[in-house]
Amino acid sequence: MDGNLKYNLYGTQWNDRTSNEDGYFNAVAFCGDRIIASYLGGKRFSEGQGEPKINYPKKFLVFDLAGNHLATLDVGIPMFSFCYDADYNRIIMAFDNEIQFGYLDGLL
């Protein structure tokens, strides 16, 4: 990586007028020789019980260092955030759920 932008990635519903309501990438991390991005691909907010509800991503998009899409992983639980644990080669996630933390290993 030489610090120059190589690609712009857009969601499938991206356009100039209406896609600002949608969220796509929440966080991105270098994980060894992969790039991992948490992905929402839908409305950032929805109607809660009288208040707006924040929607968090449930998926990861996995890319190689050249920007090629390798996989989409659906963890099935909304994630506040994640980080990469290089010592154990795993992704640690914080969830918006009764289950508050989790990790994925052996995927990279």
Measured distance CA(69)–CA(52) in Å, rounded: 33
How distant is the alpha carbon of residue 4 from its chain centre? 22
10 belongs to a structural domain: no
Question: Of all residues in the chain, what percent carry a pLDDT higher than 70?
Answer: 75
Give the best-scoring range by mean pLDDT among 4-8, 22-26, 29-33: 29-33
pTM above 0.85, yes or no: no
Range(s) of the domain holding residue 92: 19-105
Does any domain span residue 1?
no
Region 75-99 average pLDDT: 89
- At 21, which amino acid appears? E
Can you say whether residue 13 is alpha, beta or left, with left for phi > 0 and alpha for psi between -120 and 50 degrees? alpha
| Domain presence at residue 59 | yes
Domains held by the chain: number: 1
- 54: enclosing H helix or E strand: strand 52-54
The residues that bridge with 22 in the sheet, in sequence order, are 43
* Domain membership flag for residue 51: yes
| Domain membership flag for residue 7 | no
